[in-house]
Amino acid sequence: MKKSIQLFLCLFLFSALIQAQQRQLDSCNSTSTNRTIQFDGSSEQQAIIIDVSKDTNKMHVSINSTVKSGYLTVELYDPKGNKKGNFSIESQVNTSEKKEQVCGQMQKHIEDPVNGKWTVLLVPNKVIGDVSICTSLHNE
């Protein structure tokens, strides 16, 4: 009888733990997007849109770029047009004897981001290279 009570109690506690974890998972949602843009000598601006819903309470944006030649500026804007970050990188050594590859990175963690369309603006000047944009949006 005592073992039956212990087994019942263990099963009850295990079931309660599983239900609590499930409720926590049900209340926390996240989405992630990864995209890569390649430039082959381009000087044409590119605007990448990140659509943030009103339920989003955390946003993480990671931008990685590699430039083999040219000059690249990366800017992040909120839906109101306020600049939230930027960086520029440039290849400076490009001769027949030497080649250079320059990497740049920006990471932004934003609590309670403004909902709407955020913009990652890529401004290349004769860029050969690529940009990777990874976004994670969380609502709890």
The range of the structural domain enclosing residue 41 comes to 31-139
Asked whether residue 18 is domain-assigned, the answer is: no
Is the pLDDT reported for residue 14 higher than 70? no
Asked whether residue 4 is domain-assigned, the answer is: no
Is the pLDDT reported for residue 25 higher than 50? no
Tell me how far apart the alpha carbons of residues 89 and 21 are, in angstroms, rounded to a whole number.
Answer: 45
CATH number at residue 83: 2.60.120.760
Q: What is the pTM of this model?
A: 0.77
Tens of pLDDT along 110-132?
A: 999 999 999 999 999 999 999 99
End-to-end Cα spacing for the chain: 43
Is the pLDDT reported for residue 2 higher than 70? no
Q: Which residue has the higher pLDDT, 56 or 10?
A: 56
Asked whether residue 118 is domain-assigned, the answer is: yes
User: Which of 43-47, 57-61, 98-102, 110-114 is predicted with the least confidence, judged by mean pLDDT?
Assistant: 98-102
Domain count for the chain, please give it. 1
Q: Quick one: pLDDT at residue 115?
A: 94
